Structures are given as C-alpha cells and as structure tokens.
Chain A
Amino acid sequence: MSYQKSNISSNNFEQCIKCTICTVYCPVTAVNPEYPGPKQAGPDGERYRLKKPLFYDEALKYCLNCKRCEVACPSNVKIGDIIQLARIKHSKLRPGLRERILANTDFMGTLASTFAPVVNTTVKLKPVKKLMDWTLKIDSHRTFPKYASQRFTTWFKRHAEKSQAALPNQVTYFHGCYANYNYPQLGKDLVKILNAVGYGVQLMEKERCCGVAKISNNLIKQATRDAKRNLEEIRHSVAQQREVIATSTTCTFTIRDEYHHILGLENGDVREQVNLATRFLYRLVDEGKIKLAFRDDFRMKAAYHTPCHMEKLGWSIYSTSLMRMIPGLELLMLDSLCCGIAGTYGFKRENYKYSQAIGAPLFKQIADFGVDVVACDCETCKWQIEMSTGVKVENPISILAQALDVERTKALNNIK
C-alpha cells in the first residue's frame, strides 16, 4: 500500500512526539516566563495557527533563533524554522526605526566607518547611550562594536589584491559586515594564512550583508533582495571553481540554511561550496593538501566558546581541531551555552536583562577558567563576552594567524 509509508508535514512539525527536550535546551525559556518555549511556540502552536491565524502569540518575538532546539530534537523537527516562519507570516509588530538601524548592518557600516573616530567616541558617551535608550530603546548598558576607519575591502584593494592571482589555488572570501566595517584584522589574518598555504583570495564584486539581522527583524523583502544578489555572486564564484569561505558562523549558516528554509530561495546547487574558513582549512590539512608550521615562541591559554549557529552547523570540531595543531596553545572547552546576545536581540532594551541572564552561566565559567583569551567564531558572541566578562575574544583564524610561522609554512607548501 502506498499510503502512510512516510508522514510528511511542513518543517516536520507533525513528527514531534512531545518529548519536550527542545524546551529543556532553550536558553530563553529558562530565564523568561513570557516565552512559551520552543515546543509550544513551534509544533504545538503551529496546529493552532493552522486552525486560525489569530492564535499567533506575539511572545514568539522572544525567540533568539539560536536553533539549539533543532539540535536537541530527536525527531528532526525544524522548530526554529517553524517559529521564524510564523513570525514572518503572522506578527503584527512592524519593524521600526530601531529595527531598521540594527538590521541594516552594511548600510550603517558604510556610514559609520566613514566617520569612524567620531562615531566610536560618540556612541561611548553616557548621554548618547541614554539618548539612544530613550529614543530608540537600544539598551544603554550595551557597548557598541567599534567601527574601523579603514574598511577591509579598502585595505584589500590597496595592499593585497594584486598579489593574489599569482598563487596556485583560489578561493572567494565572504567577509561579512563585521570583518569589513568593524574588525578588518580578521580578514587580514585570513588572507595571511591562505596566502601562506598557496591560496589566493578573491572578493565578490558586490557582496551584500548575509541578511541574518534583517531576517530576525522581519525585514524579509530586503533580506531576500540581498540574498538573491549574494547567491548570484556565489554561483559566479563556483562557476570559476572557487569555493566561498567565511569567517563568521552566522553568515555561513544563514547562506547555507536560512536562505532556503526561511526565505524560500533555492540554494542547493551551491550550498556545499559555502564553507566556514576553519573547516575549509582543516579539511585541506587533513587531506594532506596543505601543511601548517607554528612559531616556537607562541604561548596562549584559551577557552573555546561554541556559538549557537556553530552548534547548529555541528562544525566546532573543525575550529577546535585546527587550534589544537598549535603547540603553544592550551585549549579548554567551555560548555556549549548561548551567550545571550543573538545578534541584534540583546541590543534591544526589552531583551537586555534576559540577554544577560541567558549568558550568566557562560560568563561564570569563563571567569572560573582564568584564560587569556576566549576563542569563538562569532562576532556578536565576541561583543557580548567581552562586554560581560572583560576577557578578550578572538576568532580561531586570528589565533591561528598569530601562531603561524609564515616563512616555514610557505616553505612547507612550496610557496615563494
């Protein structure tokens, strides 16, 4: 009989057997009683929303979209996606000025980096913070990420672009908003490593923000426009045999999964060619295609924090294994817990206290470990952890770049 061989439902919501493990792993449920939890907000709520859309509960706005529920689910229910899609479809809350400012990371980045010294000084001022709190409801406790006065793309054009083509292999770097506007050093570190192992770096002609902040702030039209543009660029790159790599877990995750699941765009043809830099490098080392050599004098004690989207990708093993190749690095593992910021979520005044409550156990563990540095592949976790613990946070790529013996590495890989 061809009936009932398999049960199918959108995002597998009917595959839920109500075990409630998702709710146990939800970082929000533990600290915010207003939030119904992933099971209620997801598969349970979906049945009611199918009955009548008026059953949509605006408390779904408290979801961080961390996807830890999906990682926990033994039945492969796309709980996070169900919640995101319900928000997009049913929420009556329209994105305001604050949402537009926070979500348009590339537009704001272009603006801010142009006047970086002024912007950086201004947003640090207490009265300005208070003013933003009053007018925009951006919490005054937050420390804004600094903007760089020279963007990564500008640096790249001036100092690196010309020498790339000469290298035997090529790869496309999706730098994302953070490396471009806030922390160009991360991009420079990646170029340094890749060049040393014989990989030339190309940038996209017109890279757009991956769109994650627009998706979570319900600016779907804009996110879709950016995503389409990025997919065009990715296809162009793949057609020229260049894999696309990123240093941000969230950018990687968004392009690979959210473009299809949330925005409904077809990306299956290029999904496997979009990769995280540490995974890309680890695989090359593992396959014996490249070799890395490290400085003898490098010493560091670091703890690795698994960002939520890294947990969802399931790739923290690549970042940590790569770092463990560094002889002078003592690496500890932090429990995989959400830091609480979830991109733009923690900046909003109404979320601040929950954001800090979610992160509290992680902050305590970091303090207990007494490390020099926290290693982490996500930029917003970096802001949150640095602000809340005072411990410096570095991307594994930056740590790798600091420890790398460039000359010996080049020699090992026969690069002049």
Chain B
Amino acid sequence: MLQTKMNHYDVIVIGGGATGAGTARDCAMRGLKTLLVERKDFTAGATGRNHGLLHSGARYAVTDQESASECISENMILRRIARHCVEETGGLFITLPEDDLSYQAKFVESCQAAGINAEVLDPKEAIRMEPSVNPDIIGAVRVPDGAVDPFRLTTANVVDARLHGADIITYNEVVGFVKNQNRLEGVNLRHIRTGAESTYYADVIINACGIWGAHVAELAGVKINMFPAKGALLIFGHRVNSVVINRCRKPADADILVPGDTISLIGTTSSRIPYDEIDKNEVTPEEVDVLLREGSRLAPVLANTRILRAYSGVRPLVAADNDPSGRSISRGIVCLDHAERDGLEGFITITGGKLMTYRLMAEWATDLACKKLGRTAHCLTAKTPLPGSEQTESPKRKHIIELSTEQKAAEGRHGTMSRYISSHNANDDALVCECEQVSVGEINYAIENLHVHNLINLRRRTRMGMGTCQGELCACRAAGLLGKANGCAERTLSDLSSFLNERWKGMYPIAWGETLAEIQFTSWLYNGVCGINQMVTPNKD
C-alpha cells in the first residue's frame, strides 16, 4: 500500500489497554494525528484482568517509594478526571495475629514519606468501619484506596481520543513493521478473523502492548527482556465489603479484597509463566485454594460466599537492561526510546507500570513522541476530565433519586454520557441484563458509540452478562439487539456461542454450589431449549 495523506499519521499507538488508550488520548489532545490499533478488543489484556484497585500507593510504600508517590498522585488525579470510573471507598491495611505488628510502624512511616495519608486506627474502629473484616485483627491503618473500573476508564479514554480526532482500529494484529534503514515508518496489520492485510504509516510508533510488547518489539527487531507474571483473582457474587481491605505485611498472595461495582474481588496470586502461555489465562485449583484460604483471613465471610468466576491476567514485568538474569525487576514505569537504546528511530516502548499510573505512562510516552516530532504542546490530561466525568451544574444527588434503577446504574457506568441513552419508553427501558440493570437503551447506545463488534465487547462496555447469572438471561437478548444492528444472524449466533463459552471458562474453576446449578441451567436453556450447539460452532476469538 502506498503512503498517502490518508494513511499517514504523526503517531501510531499499538495496544488498546488503558496505557494505549490513554496515550492515544494524550497524543490526540496535543494535536497529533493519531491512530490506535488493537489486536482484539480494548481492555482484553491485563487492563481488564486485574483488581480494579485505585491504589493509594500504600502497598508499595515500604519497598518502592517512587511507585508509591506516583500512585498517590495519580490516585488524586483520577478522582478528578475520571469521577465516573472511580469509587472513593477508602482502604484498610489490617494486621492479623500471625502478622508482625512492628511492620505497621514502618509502613505508616513509609506512607507518610511518600505523601500518602495513612492513619492508624483502633481495631474496633476498623471493624465498625468495615464489618466484614476479620474480627481478630490486632492493628489497622486507614489509607485513601478506592476502586476504579478499568473497562470504563479505558472506554472513556478511547471516546475522548476519538473526539480529539484519533482513528481507532480494533481486531487488527501487528504482523510486521515498515522499516527503512534504521527507522520504523509504518505497521503492517492483519485482521484477526478475515485475514485482510493493511499498512499504516507514522513518524512515531508507540508500543503500549503490556506483556505482548516484547513480541511487538521483536517484530521491530529490538529485544526487551520481559517476565510474564500471572495473577489469578476470584469474583464474589455481591459486595462483601465496602472498604478495600489489604494485609499490612510485605506484599503476598491474595492480600487485597476490593469492592468493585456490584461485586467483590480477591486477589492475586503471582507466578512466573513461560512467554508462550500469556494468552491462556487459566486458573488452577491450587490458585483457587490459595485465594480462598488467604481471602478468608481478610474477611471470614468469603469462605461461604458464592463465587461468580475466576480469572487471571499477566503483569508485564520488565528486567533492567543491564541484568539479563531477570532478578532485578522493576514494577515501575519503563519508557524506552529505542533510538537511544537500540539505534532504531521512530519507535517508543511504554511498559511496566500499573493500571493506576496509565495516565502518567501516557504522558511520558507522549512527551517523548512530541520531542521526536518537534512539537511543543503540553500535557493536559491531568486536568481535563474524561467524557462522562465533567462537572455537572445540577446537584447530582437530588437528580439521581428521581431516576429508575436502570438509569441510576447506567449513570454509574457512563457518568454524564448517560444522557445520550434513550429512555422513557417501554422498549428502551426494558432490561436486557437483569442482574446488572442494563436496559435496551444502554445496549443500543453502546453498540452505536462504543466500538462494539460482538457480545464480549458489549459486556466490557456495559457490564451486561457480568452479574449473578453470567449471561443466562441476557446473552440471547443482547444477541438479538446486536444482530439487528449488524444485520447478520449467522455471525451473531456464533458470537452468542463464543460468549457463552467465555462465561463458562471463568466459571469452570469454581463450578460448585449455586454457580454449578446456574451454569447447568444456562446450558439446559441454550442447548436443550434453543439447540444452539446444533446450529453453530463458536468463533475462535
């Protein structure tokens, strides 16, 4: 394909996670002609596979002051710019009888040094604040933790990038680069389903692919030493806690319990996996055992609470360049200028870091891109609210009382953007997803505005199918609406089948009790009543 004005960009950002979406937004806001490309769907990688914890930074205070300070400053920024993605729950660091209470003093001191407001509480006060916490606690510290919804956060960044003129391409994998001597000039893409190939050109290409970044860098001919670390988590059926509960000890397995939207999450484990397993995302019985055993120490009620599903993600841990053994691993942000490092012009890698610091990572990467392009625009992302989080004039509280339940839920998910959701007639207000209160209007809004190609996209944009029944009632309803929008019944049927299989994947490791009954009922409905297994074979994606 020839290079034309149409397919030439200032910047191409590879990777549709929080970092990639945030970088595309930052670039577009600074007036760069930007293209964001993603292999699958936004948030399909580590962004959509973590705790959704709005870290105060306290967790890193003792071991990594730099990360801790970054976290607390980003924490305060996200509360302003991403109000509709954040819930200000507060957090506790608890000391159990088997933990060393003397760690607490060091912890509080380190927090204060990093600028994190850590306040020692009487254990009784902590139990009053969070009744689900283990009543045996001997110490508690309050920190400004919170919950952040990574799906909403990423979607809002994508929406804003597009509002600022960025182009977006999903379901296209980078299969190679256009290289001219020591300079990258473009990317070769291949549609993961149709196989259609295309090429786009840019002056700067930013690799924001998380753990997949090592592979992408390799395609460009440079080596980044990354160590995939898998973390598994469990989702409980309802909110067990309303305050984030952490363990006040050196970070270990299953020591964070986060209330996220309607559910609670315990995680994570940490285990090194080979690079060729980064797409597997399986959760082993041993991991489930550890999560339950350690989780029940934080909140004993977890031992008897219904589990909805298990999932895992892969952290992109980057080895320092001078240490090929991988022992000296940083959890901090890694921004590589490959011109300086490898003599390869027009290529930047932004990796490491955390969901919490996605904005700062985007800022660093964009600063570097601007420097390369000779542009002087400043970063405004720390001050400009994301779409949905703008300050409204009317007092929110009074207004929300008059809304119906599904409207309240939609406002929680889309913030001020929920004003674009059709309602006030029986059709639009009808519920698609009953567990998560997603209306027909909201599904249609998502299909039209939020880059939805299939049911899994739709789930990430709306929470449809994320509730107790895991798609049992809503999957076929949503498929009906999606089929109407894309006009292809056959594709929608195979999509429905993939969606149900994807739900089963997360239920399989914890398939007992009500969850097992639920999935049996679902299977009976879709196989027995609808005969779906006789009509279609699921998509590979």
Contacts and interface: CB of A to CB of B under 8 A. Distances in A.
A is bound by B: yes
Contact of B261 (A2, A4, A51): A51
A57 B305 CA distance: 25
A44 B238 CA distance: 10
Contacts of A33: 426
Contact of B517 (A5, A17, A57): A17
Contacts of B512: 4
Nearest to B437: A48
Interface string A17-45: 11110000000000001001001100111
A47 interface: yes
Contacts of A20: 473
B513 interface: yes
A2 B512 CA distance: 14
A54 interface: yes
Contact of A17 (B262, B400, B521): B521
B468 A9 contact: no
Interface in B298-350: 303-307
A9 B472 CA distance: 21
A373 to B, nearest CB: 43
A40 B434 contact: yes
Contact of B408 (A14, A47, A55): A55
B469 interface: yes
Contacts of B259: 51
Given A4-B513, A54-B408, 20 more contacts: A3-B296, A3-B303, A4-B512, A6-B304, A7-B305, A9-B237, A13-B238, A14-B306, A16-B514, A17-B472, A17-B514, A18-B521, A39-B434, A43-B468, A44-B467, A45-B405, A48-B262, A48-B405, A55-B408, A55-B409
B272 to A, nearest CB: 26
A50 B262 CA distance: 8
Contacts of B455: none
A14 B289 contact: no
Contacts of B191: none
A51 B468 contact: no
Interface of A is mostly: loop
Q: Which of B405, B468, B512, B521 has the most CB of A within 10 A?
A: B405
A91 B541 CA distance: 46
Contacts of B237: 9, 14, 47
A1 B290 CA distance: 11
5 contacts: A17-B517, A39-B434, A44-B434, A48-B405, A51-B239
Contacts of A46: 238
Given A4-B513, A20-B473, A75-B514, A9 B434 contact: no
B3 interface: no
B1 interface: no
B405 A55 contact: yes
Contact of A9 (B292, B306, B401, B437): B306
Given A39-B434, A44-B435, A9 B404 contact: no
A47 B304 contact: no
A15 interface: yes
Interface residues of A, number: 33
A8 interface: yes
Contacts of B167: none
B409 A50 contact: no
Contacts of A39: 434
Nearest to B474: A18
Contacts of B307: 4
Interface string B485-527: 0000000000000000000000000001110011001000000
A75 B238 CA distance: 18
B35 to A, nearest CB: 38
Contacts of A17: 469, 472, 514, 517-518, 521
B493 to A, nearest CB: 22
B124 interface: no
Contact of A16 (B239, B262, B468): B468
B293 interface: yes
A18 B514 contact: no
Contacts of B292: 1, 3-4
A407 B280 CA distance: 84
Contacts of B467: 44, 47
Interface string B353-368: 0000000000000000
A14 B261 CA distance: 16
A14 B303 CA distance: 14
A44 B472 CA distance: 14
Contacts of A15: 306, 514
B61 to A, nearest CB: 29
B468 A7 contact: no
Interface string A382-396: 000000000000000
Nearest to B510: A4
Given A14-B305, A17-B521, A19-B521, A57 B293 contact: no
Nearest to B431: A40
Contacts of A75: 514, 517
Contacts of B262: 47-48, 50-51
Given A3-B303, A6-B304, A18 B518 contact: yes
A64 B409 CA distance: 26
A19 B521 CA distance: 8
A47 B518 contact: no
A108 B307 CA distance: 50
Contacts of A8: 304-305
Given A14-B237, A47-B467, A55-B408, A2 B303 contact: yes
A3 B238 CA distance: 17
Contacts of A5: 304
Contacts of A45: 405
Contacts of A13: 238
Contacts of A40: 405, 431, 434
Interface in B398-440: 400-401, 404-405, 408-409, 426, 431, 434-435, 437
B304 A4 contact: yes
B401 to A, nearest CB: 7
Q: Which of B238, B296, B303, B404 has the most CB of A within 10 A?
A: B238
Contacts of B468: 14, 16, 18, 43-44, 47
A45 B406 CA distance: 10
B514 A7 contact: yes
Contacts of B408: 54-55
Interface string B434-463: 110100000000000000000000000000
Contacts of B437: 44, 48
A14 B514 contact: yes
Contact of B238 (A6, A47, A54): A47
B435 A18 contact: yes
A7 B521 contact: no
B121 to A, nearest CB: 23
Nearest to A45: B405
A2 B517 CA distance: 20
Contacts of A14: 237-238, 305-306, 468, 514
Contact of B303 (A4, A9, A50): A4
Interface in B170-191: none
A50 B472 contact: no
A18 B238 contact: no
Interface string A263-277: 000000000000000
Interface in B277-298: 289, 292-293, 296
Contact of A7 (B304, B401, B409): B304
